[in-house]
Each structure stands twice: as structure tokens, then as C-alpha cells.
Structure 1
Amino acid sequence: MVTGIGVVAPNGLGTERYWAATLRGDSGIGRITRFDPSGYASSLAGEIKDFDPARELPSRLLPQTDHMTRLALVAAEEALADAGADPRTMPDFAAGVVTAASAGGFDFGQRELAALWSKGGAHVSAYQSFAWFYPVNSGQISIRHGMRGPGGALVAEQAGGLDAVAKARRHVRDGTPLMLTGGVDGSLCPWGWLCMTRSGGLTTRTDPRRAYLPFSPGASGYVPGEGGALLVLEDPEAAAERGAPQVYGRIAGYAATFDPRPGSGREPGLRRALRLALDDAGIGPKDVDVVFADAMGVPALDAVETKVLAAEFGPRGVPVTAPKTMTGRLLAGGASLDLAAALLSLRDQVVPPTVHVDGGAVPDTLDLVVGAPRPASLRHALVLARGHGGFNSAMVVSGRD
């Protein structure tokens, strides 16, 4: 079960700030301010602009951490506080950390490589040995909070945010009382931006209101962002014994698949992931009350997802939403943020809107929630995620029984 949530997002730092902004339809997407994007084909991103690491973290951590890791440390602090849990007071090995990443600490790495090329090896920080690395968020969180139980990191781009939570669920089922999991990511620096723009999936539009339009006739690609969410997963009995202040819901089902080789003629793996996740949860399509879509914003990939949803749920058979239109796609942090939004939807019995989209390219096929939040009776939510290169993940979250 999920007993704590920590969020760092472009439209809100902290879970409740993010959720209130999402229900209002407030977007955090705008022109990049961290560097001059004028020389690049794409210039929009979901930046977290109200974050002061010197105010949020001990000074000793600042020289050894990338911006991504600083965000992750803040999200971890909030999630554990929200759960009312202090791993340092728990028995050894009773708490662990599994996170997702896509590129590691690119901003830190760029600075140190620039120092190497311009000044020489003596000017490269010793912290470069780990600050760029994919598992660095798991490592720094576990050190700061004394979490000596199972640890790890998964790399599957957007899908990784669900994969990490699934791995943490396995550790809880195997006997670890508490796991901190999810993804916080970001590579908004010139080096990272060049890599993302080379993928060919980013929109080149400059109007934030018309840039990221999944399932829309005007879809032209997606907008990247930074941030994500971390969750506290606990064994139900252990959570009850220590008096956890709340339960948001439970991770009821999960599956992951990989797309076949391009040109093979075989269908993508998203539909199979969806079906397997429902099977794992012990529910059928009629039991799903809302879908948090992957919503790539690339017309061909949106068409694949639309076809899958229509085939499984029927035309307009289930409300579909993509609140990531307010944050951008947050790499490995995006799916875990959708997961947090799904849990908050179950808590408040409301579906957040997809902004800037007027109903979609296929209004007769998708019941896309647009314009305003939609009150609803919600028991089970399905979260879908696809990662660059063919990764597919699906996760079912259920409200408190």
C-alpha cells in the first residue's frame, strides 16, 4: 500500500501544491530559462523555477549532487514525512530505495567535462565519479535516511517510473516493511537538451499553449520537463502497527513488455502490458474507472495508444486524461508523477484535466477529460507509460478497500 507521496513538478513543488495547480489547469511549461535555447530546434520545457537547493538541503550535499538528485532528495523528504516514517528509527535493513532514471546527472556531468576540456583533469570534481550515475538518487536518499534495505535503479525512460515501483512492491512482498520508490529526473542543460532534440520527438513550436497536444489534430511532438514523484510503499500490517497516518491506495497490478523490432509487422507491446496488468490486479476492463495515458504527443504513437484503449475499453468506454500536458514529459519521473496523480484522484474522487486540448483528434473514440476536472466515482485507475526504445509499462492502482 502507498502511505506517502512526495512531488517536485514544474507546476508545483510539493504534493498539495502540485495537485491544486493540476486541478486548476495551471501549466508549468514555458521557454527554457536555465540556458539560452535559441540555437536549438526546440525551446520549451517544464522547468521547476521555485526551487532553492540551499534552502532545502544541507550545504555539504550541494557540491556533490546534480540538480536532479537535489530534487529527488526533497521529494524523498516529503514522502517520508507524509507517511510519518523515519527509517533511521527502524531496524537495520527494514527500509530500502528503488528509483528510476533515464540519463543520470547530465547537468553535473556537463560542468565537469567542461572543466576537464578547458582546464585539465586536476579541476574535475571527485564527485563526478558518482554524481552523474543512474543509481545516484537511490544512493543519496538511502545514505541521508539510513535506508540500508534493498536498493536499486531502473533505466527505461518514461516507463521506468512504473518499473521502479513494481520492483519495490516485490521487495515489500518479500518481507521488507517499507520501500521508497518512483522517479525524479531531468536533463535541462545544453548537453542533455541536444540529446533530447536529436530524438526527433520534441515539438518545435514556441507557444506553450499550442506545443504539447496529445491526441489532438494539432499534435506535433512533446515537451520535456524535469521532476517527478516518490512514493512510500509499505506492508499493510507493518503500516498499521506503526500507525501510518493515511493510506492513499495500493499497487494492485503491473506488467511490462517490449515492442517488437520495427518493420516486423507485429503489434506494439502496449496492449499486452495493459492486459497483463489487469490480470495481475484481478480485474477486467469494465472495472477501470480512469486511464492516465502515456500521451506521447507524436501522432503515430498517439494513434497506437488510441487504438489500444478503444480495443480494450470500447469507444469512449473509459475517461482518459493526461495531466502531463501541464508539466511536459518528465523522463523517468513522468510515470511516477502520473501514479501520484492517480492516487490523489482516488482520494478526492476527481479526474484531472488534459489542458490545451479541445477534445482530441478522435472524439468518437476517446473520452478525453479536457477543460476542467471531472468528478467521478473511482475505484481503480490505470497508468500507462512508454519509454524511448520500445519499453511499455502498465500499472493499476486501487483505492482503499
Structure 2
Amino acid sequence: MSAVTAPAPRSATGVTTAVRPPVVTGLGIVAPTGTDAAAHWRSVLEGTSAIGRITLFDPSSYPVRLAGQVPGFSARERVPSRLIQQTDRWTHLGLAAAEAALADAGAHPAELPEYELAVVTASSSGGTEFGQHEMENLYQHTPEWVGAYQSIAWFYAATTGQISIRHGLRGPCGVLCCEQAGGLDAIGQSRRLIRTGAKLVMTGGTDASLCPYGLTAQLTTGQLSTVQDPARAYLPFDSEASGYLPGEGGALLVVEDADAAEARGAGHRYGQVLGYAAGFDPPPDSDRGPVLARTVGAALADAGLQPGEVDVVFADALGVPEADRAEAAALAEVFGPCGVPVTAPKTLTGRLYGGGAALDAATALLALRDQVIPHTAGPSAPAPGYGIDLVLGEPRHQELRTALVVARGYGGFNAALVLGHSAFRDT
């Protein structure tokens, strides 16, 4: 059964209430394109690809040998030593991103009401690499070789829990497991938490499944590109599209109640969370089509916007021809053929699963801040009949008030998030 949801704020009596949109005050980015927001944004605008041969393990026996890896990340430099042994690389990336996001927001949790500070992140598969090592210990030796931390390090909520503990964020905490769509779902949940009393929410997601076990699991989808040329392997919306490449990393965002952010003297705001909706596609053998167009429409309605008020779309861009065609059709249905500029900076990083949509949201906020649409590196032109205005070649400078971020997860998950410029409809 298909479903689309777009939550609206309600009072205790069930009547929808008008509230100021939550604001994003901090970004923490740990991605293949850079281990901080400035480096990532510079790589995106310059179109500098981070796709290369996998070096975290020997990929020579696998059909997919390319990916986006976080460069030069040292857990020892950014994560407390005791946590390195207790947690997976995915959580190391998340802890580093969370600390950077808080610093960027100028937020000091110790100075704020601890039970009004929340955490909600996205996860696709949890601690994959850590789990692989412990499984190797099990089948190569005996159960006594399996470490006690396996019970928590693999768990999909590990990053949420460790961030909460480390920074004293003792309000509502949770995790969304919706594969690539989860990053948007986490941000949508952060808005719900703020509407019910939270003042600050750490949200977003990271991922790190570039290990033999993780890559093998991803190969089962049949959607990964086996092209060995880094420049031609991941070409969404292109006539030569042959699948996508995996990646690691992501972004965490500090989302705050607008009044609370002002009260604590937040120095800057990247933008506003205006609207959100989630949907789930019906079974492939049903007579009902994908619900992405309805999901986008619901997110726009939730934001109180008409299609013509959206200035840019950050596409899901799977790179699988059938999926690209369906996404292009959904965008054309909502906005009209070539009705809105479309971009997909994820060609520089690969798809980051639980971290991918959160990174897209962070990139969209940087685009709103600097009034520029980053281009999509790789594709030469949209495939015939797609009917989308894909931004290619170089960034496009224009007035940006709003951005739509679209994400789809394996199995039918899809989500849409509407972000606004920091001064847009701030009532």
C-alpha cells in the first residue's frame, strides 16, 4: 500500500498552529569531498570529484572497485580514544561531524537545558566494518574471540546514542532506517521534536559501508556501476547511465527552534526547514506507480509553496536508467518539463546511503547562503525525453529563495524536504 505523509503542527486540541520554521544554525560535514563544510563546498563548486579506487581494502576481486572515500580522516584526531575501540567507523564520522556542527552553531550544550536537546540520525546498516571483523573472529576462532562491544557498535542507533552521551543531549533521541531517504526523514523528525518542545536537535546522518561485507551487501541490489573509469562510472540522467557508485561520510546539522536560537544569540542561520513529506512506493507488481510526485507535492503543500516558488531541486539521481526516468517524470509532473533547475552534486561522492540525503541538504543550504546552484559533474546532457533542466558544466548564479531536496531509498522509501533562505518567510 502506498502512503504519503506531511505532518502539520497541532495544538493540544488538534488544531493546526502557526509556528516559525525551525532554523539550521550549524553544519558538520565529513565527506569524500572534504572533512569540513568549507572544503566540501569548494570541491562542489569546482566540480572536483572524490571518486577513486577503493583503498580501505583490496577491491580487485569485486566487480565494483570505485567509491567515494573520506580523505585523510583520522579517528585518533577527532574521536576520544576509548570510543575508537568501542564503535564503528560510521560512528567515528558521525561524532566528528556532530562536534563540528555544534562548533559551527556556537552552541554549548552544557549551557542549555539538557532535556530540550535532542538527537535523531539516519542509518542504513549500522556498524558494518566492525561487524565484519567480529564475524571473522567468530568463524575463524570461537565465540570467545567476539568482543563485547559488538553488541552496541553494529547497532543502527549507535551514532545517535554516542552523540547524546558525549554532548549531554538528553532530550528525545532516535534513529530512522530508510536507506538513502533516511537523512531527510531525520530532519523531518527534528522538526516534529522542535514543535513538541525541543529547542535544539542534532540531526542528519553518516555511513561507512566500504568493507568487503558492506560492498557485497550493496551488490545484491544490482544497481551499482561496474564501469572502471571514474569519470564515466556514475552518470545520473545521462544516456550512458549504468548505475551508481557507493561512498562514505555524510553530514550532521544543528536544527533549532527559531526563537530559542535568537535567545541564545546564534550568530548565523543557514536556512529554514519549511516543509517535509515521506512516501513509500507500492509493490512493483501492483498497478499503482511510484509516489514520488505525490511526495514532492505534499512537501510543497506542507511548506505552503506553489511549484513555481521552488528555485532548485537537488535530485536523488540514482544513475539507473529506469529510476532516473521515473524521477525525471515525477519532477516534470510537478514543475512542468524543464520547469526548475535540477542538480546532483552527489556524482562527486557517490551515494552515501544514510549520509547521502543529509549531505545533499547541507549542500542545498550552502547554495541558498551563497545564491549559486552547483553543477552536476559527469553527465554531458540529459537523456532524450527526460525533460529536466539539469545544471551542467559550471555553477549557475541566480536568486535562490527555496530549495527542494529529493531522496529515494532501496525498497520504496522516498522523501522530500523544502529548505528556505534564512530570510525567507521568517514570521
Same fold (TM over 0.5): yes
| Aligned mate of 1:325, from 341, 347, 359 | 347
Query: In the alignment, does 2:394 pair up with 1:372?
Result: yes
| Runs of at least 4 residues off by over 3 Å | none
**Alpha-carbon contact 1:291-1:383 (below 8 Å) kept:** yes
Q: Which residue of 1 aligns with 2:9?
A: none
The residue aligned with 2:186 is 164
- Report the Cα distance in structure 1 between the residues aligned to 2:421 and 2:270, rounded to whole angstroms: 7
Q: 1:147 aligns with which of 140, 163, 169?
A: 169
Match of 2:134 among 98, 112, 135: 112
1:38-53 aligned at under 5 Å gives the runs 38-53=60-75
Number of the residue aligned with 2:13: none
How many percent of aligned residue pairs carry the same amino acid? 56
Deviation at 1:365, TM superposition (A): 1.2
What residue number does 2:3 align with? none
Specify the SS of the correspondent of 1:384: strand
The 8 Å contact of residues 182 and 229 in structure 1, kept in 2 or not, is answered as yes
- Does the 8 A contact of 1:161 with 1:183 survive in 2? yes
Q: Which residue of 1 aligns with 2:91?
A: 69
Q: Secondary structure at the match of 2:115?
A: coil
SS in 2 for 1:26: coil
Name the CA distance, whole Å, in 2 between partners of 1:55 and 1:230: 19
2:35 touches 2:71 (CA, 8 Å); kept in 1?
A: no
Report deviation, 1:364.
7.1
Deviation at 1:189, TM superposition (A): 0.5
* 1:121 maps onto 2:143 in alignment: yes
What is the CA–CA distance in structure 2 between the aligned matches of 1:276 and 1:89, rounded to whole Å?
38
**2:222 corresponding residue in structure 1:** 200
* Among candidates 36, 55, 61, match of residue 33 of structure 1: 55
- Distance in 2 (CA, whole Å) between partners of 1:124 and 1:364 is 51
- Structure 1, unmatched stretches of 5+, are none
Tell me how many residue pairs correspond in the alignment: 401
For residues 187 and 113 of structure 2, what CA distance do their matches in structure 1 show? 22
| Counterpart residue number, 1:292 | 314
Output the CA distance in 1 between the equivalents of 2:100 and 2:315.
26
1:295-330 deviation line (CA, Å, top 9, x unaligned): 000000000011111121111111000000000000
Q: 1:320 to 1:113 in 2, by over 3 A?
A: same
Contact 1:88 1:147 (C-alpha < 8 Å) held by counterparts: no
What amino acid sits opposite 1:294 in the alignment? D
SS in 2 for 1:267: coil
Provide TM-score, normalisation by structure 1. Answer: 0.99
Q: Structure 2 CA distance, aligned partners of 1:174 and 1:156?
A: 23
- Which residue identity is paired with 1:281? A
Match of 2:295 among 258, 273, 296: 273
TM-score (norm 2): 0.93
SS of corresponding position for 2:43: helix
Confirm or deny: 8 A CA contact 1:215 1:362 kept in the other structure. Answer: no
Deviations 1:147-193 (A, max 9, x none): 10010001000000000111111001111110000111121100011
User: What amino acid is aligned across from residue 420 of structure 2 in structure 1?
Assistant: S
Q: Which amino acid aligns with 2:58?
A: D
- Give the counterpart letter for 1:89 in structure 2: E
Q: Partners in 1 of 2:110 and 2:150 — Cα distance?
A: 28
Aligned to 1:261: 283
- Work out whether 1:306 is the aligned partner of 2:328: yes
- How far the C-alpha of 1:38 sits from its partner, in A, is 1.4
Q: Look up the equivalent residue of 1:280 and give its one-letter code.
A: D
Using the alignment, how far apart are the partners of 1:119 and 1:215 within structure 2?
Answer: 48
Conservation of the 8 A alpha-carbon contact between 2:328 and 2:386: no
- Report the residue type matching 1:188 in the other structure: L
Distance 1:72 1:245 in 2: 24
Alpha carbons 2:278, 2:415 under 8 Å: kept: yes
Three-state SS of the structure 1 residue aligned to 2:191 is helix
User: Partner of 2:198 in structure 1?
Assistant: 176
Q: Secondary structure at the match of 1:340?
A: helix
Structure 2 alignment gaps of length 5 or more = 1-22
Find the residue that maps to 1:309 and give its secondary structure: helix
Mean Cα deviation higher: 99-108 or 54-63? 54-63
Q: Matched residues in 2 for 1:241 and 1:305: separation?
A: 41
Greater shift in the superposed pair: 50-59 or 237-246: 50-59
| Pairwise CA distance, 1:358 | 1.0
DSSP 3-state at the match of 2:114: coil
Q: Which amino acid aligns with 1:31?
A: R
